[in-house]
């Protein structure tokens, strides 16, 4: 049986919750990965107000949509990121310019997200952790080993109390391994899990689009972290280096044709989804495949429709017999 195909609502937060439910249903999606911003899900209300949650569930039922994960990337980023004014966009306006208040709000928001997830009937929250050392990515001025260790220790101190609430509610946190996070590639992810002593509440929201342009083979990443894959994003990216473009993006916005890499809708980039499906089958991943539209060069409704068709076609099931078994005597 093929896996459920969901649509992540983060890039559709300009629409009301009912509008995105209606649209996803009309396109043929099985459900949503609900973003915890815009009108889509207020985790405080979902955790504390049964009537609010009932209204959300009734809209989902109206359009025959399931939910297997909710995503709170923005608040999660505010927990561990080193403050600059960009974080003001993710927190309530009353906290603008107040780093300590933003962090306090974000920590409470993530704890509430675990409670909201349980009341929603899902067991996975996708999101970010933020990173106090991302700005030290390039080692000039010199980044010392001690600075790196302090950064990881800070994330562990901030997130362990949050993960305790996840554990109490039997919810998994699926970190999207992603630039600007404490874990953005293979070795940083491995180090993070080691620092958390491999506690089971924290795993991975696998998104190959963040790996392919870094030179990482996504399906090998999957193989290495097979027991930590709690959720899967279906998103593509393309590398377009020709001697002028930079892999660092040149401070050009997504969609600018001069970038050295960019996000693309499924099947329009360099990710080998055939190998990814084979790895998911091998690890017996039965969770949803969540389409995340982030292609600035393609109309999003066209992209969402085409991506759904692409996933349906590529999500083949594993064989139950060896191809040469019929030759046995």
DSSP state of 61: H
pLDDT at 235: 98
pLDDT at 318: 81
CATH value of 5-317 in 3.30.70.141, 3.10.150.10, 3.30.1060.10, 3.20.20.150:
3.20.20.150
pLDDT band at 267 (very low <50, low <70, confident <90, very high): very high
Q: Residue 71 in contact with residue 46, Cβ under 8 Å?
A: no
pLDDT band at 319 (very low <50, low <70, confident <90, very high): confident
DSSP 122-148: --EEEE----SSGGGSS-SSPPPHHHH
Range 62-86 average pLDDT = 98
pLDDT at 2: 83
CA atoms within 13 A on the CB side of 286: 2
pLDDT at 325: 59
The answer on pLDDT for 50 being more than 60 is yes
> Mean pLDDT, the chain, as a whole number?
96
Range 181-206 average pLDDT = 98
pLDDT band at 327 (very low <50, low <70, confident <90, very high): low
Instruction: Count CB neighbours of 139 within 10 A.
Output: 10
pLDDT at 265: 95
d(CA 263, CA 255): 8
pLDDT at 329: 60
Q: What is the phi/psi pair of residue 55, to 5°?
A: -65, -40
pLDDT at 227: 97
Instruction: Count CB neighbours of 24 within 10 A.
Output: 23
d(CA 103, CA 160): 15
Q: Residue 266 in contact with residue 291, Cβ under 8 Å?
A: yes
Beta strands 236-239 and 66-71 are: unpaired
pLDDT at 264: 97
Alpha-carbon 163 to chain mean position? 17
Q: Residue 219 in contact with residue 272, Cβ under 8 Å?
A: yes
pLDDT band at 199 (very low <50, low <70, confident <90, very high): very high
d(CA 167, CA 18): 31
pLDDT at 326: 55
**pTM of the entire predicted model:** 0.96
- Which stretches within the chain are classed as H helix? 17-27, 43-48, 50-62, 73-80, 99-120, 145-168, 186-195, 209-212, 218-224, 273-282, 300-314
pLDDT at 322: 61
Q: How far is CA 187 from CA 180, 181, 191, 207, in A?
A: 15, 13, 6, 16
pLDDT one-digit tens code per residue, 14-24? 999 999 999 99
Residue 304's Cβ-count burial label (10 Å; 0-12, 13-18, 19+) is: buried
The answer on pLDDT for 323 being more than 60 is no
- pLDDT above 70 coverage of the chain, percent: 97
The answer on pLDDT for 38 being more than 80 is yes
pLDDT at 194: 98
């Amino acid at each position: 049986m093929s896996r459920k195909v969901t649509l992540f609502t983060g890039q559709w937060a300009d629409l009301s919750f009912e509008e995105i439910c209606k649209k996803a249903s009309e396109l043929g999606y099985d459900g949503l990965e609900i973003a915890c911003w815009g009108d889509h899900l207020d985790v405080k209300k979902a955790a504390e107000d049964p009537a609010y949650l009932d209204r959300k569930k009734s809209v989902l039922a109206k359009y025959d949509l399931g939910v297997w994960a909710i995503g709170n990337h923005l608040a999660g980023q505010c927990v561990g990121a080193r403050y600059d004014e960009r974080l003001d966009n993710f927190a309530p306006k009353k906290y603008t310019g107040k780093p300590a208040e933003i962090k306090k709000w974000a920590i409470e928001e993530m704890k509430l997200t675990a409670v909201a997830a349980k009341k929603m009937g899902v067991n996975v929250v996708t999101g970010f952790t933020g990173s106090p050392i991302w700005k030290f990515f390039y080692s000039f001025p010199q980044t010392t080993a001690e600075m790196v260790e302090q950064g990881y220790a800070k994330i562990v101190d901030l997130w362990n109390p949050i993960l305790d609430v996840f554990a109490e509610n039997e919810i998994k946190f699926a970190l999207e391994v992603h630039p600007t996070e404490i874990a953005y590639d293979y070795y940083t992810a491995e180090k993070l899990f080691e620092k958390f002593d491999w506690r089971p509440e924290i795993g991975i929201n696998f998104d190959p689009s963040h790996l392919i342009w870094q030179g990482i083979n996504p399906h090998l990443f999957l193989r290495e972290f097979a027991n930590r894959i709690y959720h899967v994003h279906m998103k593509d990216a393309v590398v377009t280096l020709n001697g002028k473009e930079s892999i660092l993006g040149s401070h050009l916005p997504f969609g600018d044709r001069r970038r050295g890499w960019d996000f693309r809708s499924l099947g329009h980039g360099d990710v080998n989804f055939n190998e990814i499906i084979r790895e998911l089958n091998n690890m017996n991943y039965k969770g949803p495949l969540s389409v995340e539209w982030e292609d600035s060069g393609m109309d999003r409704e066209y992209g969402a429709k085409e991506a759904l068709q692409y996933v349906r076609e590529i999500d083949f099931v594993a064989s139950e017999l060896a191809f040469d078994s019929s030759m046995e005597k």
